[in-house]
């Protein structure tokens, strides 16, 4: 879906030097194995995928960004986007001055609430030169207010930069339930287990086991929210048992997968803001 004033190849960065209004919306699909080259701009950006997982690379690191999360990119921060699958992509370009004195932390991963999802979807009808004093302007003010209220995500998945590790990470992104050990992967990418173990910690701050656990938990969130049974999610993501999945999930989020799913579904129906427990 393209918005007013966008070219068909909308994933190319538009040649603007200033925003026409305090908020400029871009929404489009990026195909699988797509790439938005590194760039920066003098306005802030709220980056969010409504479907699919994107990979965002900034000077602060490279991270996976699933539909539950958004990233705050401040003015002039270089960033690039890549995809393994087709992604429905939203970018809200924001006038940092209009946003207020306390924007989110640079590069912050934020929990997107059901209410904000609906507000972002409503921008599909927002013209480029919307009336800042009319209903469209009120919508923009509400969006900015809800972004200010978002909580920092309790879980993130940093992507490694080493080419061998990146090959492993992207394969596991496609299939988080892949049971292969680091020894198995070592023979696949042409490095020793010891080298891969050291590089994983160096590149991501996590061991391979910790990184894969974080990836699996991240992959579990949309499945649970969509109504998948806890047992099905556990099996799909490679857990030895349902109880093992529940234990790991609860240790991270302080709530069981079943309670998480019911809470998200209820909050979505009530159209209330929500964030995972910190």
CA 127 from centroid of its chain's CA atoms: 26
Residue 3 lies in a domain: no
Tell me, yes or no, whether 136 and 197 share the same domain.
Answer: no
Region 225-243: mean pLDDT is: 93
Residue 1 lies in a domain: no
Residue 252 lies in a domain: yes
Whether 23 has a pLDDT exceeding 80, the answer reads yes
Q: How many residues does the chain have?
A: 278
Tell me, yes or no, whether 112 and 56 share the same domain.
Answer: yes
The residue written with tokens 């004195």 in the block is 101
Please report the DSSP string for 228-248 in residue order.
--HHHHHHHTT-S-HHHHHHH
pLDDT band, residue 57 (cuts 50/70/90) = very high
pLDDT band, residue 192 (cuts 50/70/90) = very high
**Residue-number span of the structural domain to which 99 is assigned:** 23-149
- The Cα 50–Cα 118 span in angstroms is 10
Read off φ and ψ for residue 94, nearest 5 degrees.
-125, 135
Task: List, for residues 149-172, the tens digit of each pLDDT value.
Answer: 898 888 888 999 899 999 999 999
Q: What is the mean pLDDT of the chain?
A: 86
pLDDT band, residue 11 (cuts 50/70/90) = low
Q: Which of 98, 127, 149 is the last residue of a domain?
A: 149
CA distances from 36 to 81, 82, 116, 156, 181 (A): 5, 6, 25, 21, 32
Whether 270 has a pLDDT exceeding 80, the answer reads no
Q: Which of 122, 149, 176 is the last residue of a domain?
A: 149
Task: List, for residues 169-180, the tens digit of each pLDDT value.
Answer: 999 988 999 999
CATH number at residue 264: 1.10.10.60
Query: Which pTM was predicted?
Result: 0.77
Tell me, yes or no, whether 128 and 190 share the same domain.
Answer: no
Helix (H, G, I), strand (E, B) or coil at 194: helix
Region 194-205: mean pLDDT is: 94
Task: List, for residues 78-137, the tens digit of each pLDDT value.
Answer: 999 888 888 888 889 999 887 777 788 888 899 888 889 899 989 988 999 999 999 999
- The Cα 154–Cα 110 span in angstroms is 9
Number of domains in the chain: 2
């Amino acid at each position: 879906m393209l918005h007013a004033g966008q070219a068909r190849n909308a994933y190319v960065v538009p040649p603007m030097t200033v925003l026409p209004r305090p908020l400029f919306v871009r929404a489009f699909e990026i195909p699988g194995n797509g790439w938005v080259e590194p760039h920066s701009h003098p306005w802030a950006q709220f980056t969010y995928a409504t479907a699919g997982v994107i990979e965002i690379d900034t000077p602060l690191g490279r991270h996976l960004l699933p539909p539950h999360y958004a990233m705050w990119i401040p003015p002039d921060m270089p960033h690039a986007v890549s995809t393994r699958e087709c992604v429905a992509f939203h970018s809200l370009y924001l006038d940092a001055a209009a946003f207020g004195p306390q924007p989110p932390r640079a590069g912050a991963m934020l929990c997107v609430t059901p209410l904000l999802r609906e507000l972002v979807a409503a921008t599909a009808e927002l013209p480029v030169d919307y009336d800042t004093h009319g209903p469209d302007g009120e919508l923009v003010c509400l969006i900015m207010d809800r972004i200010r209220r978002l909580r920092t995500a309790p879980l993130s998945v940093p992507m490694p930069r080493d080419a061998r590790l990146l090959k492993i990470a992207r394969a596991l992104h496609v299939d988080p339930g892949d049971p292969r050990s680091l020894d198995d992967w070592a023979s696949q990418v042409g490095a020793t287990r010891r080298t891969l173990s050291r590089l994983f910690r160096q590149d991501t701050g996590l061991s391979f086991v910790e990184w894969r656990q974080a990836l699996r938990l991240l992959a579990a969130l949309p499945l649970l929210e969509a109504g998948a049974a806890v047992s099905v999610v556990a099996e799909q993501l490679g857990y030895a048992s349902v109880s093992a999945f529940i234990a790991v999930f609860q240790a991270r989020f302080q709530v069981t997968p079943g309670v998480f799913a019911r809470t998200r579904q209820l909050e979505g129906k009530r159209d209330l803001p929500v964030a995972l427990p910190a």
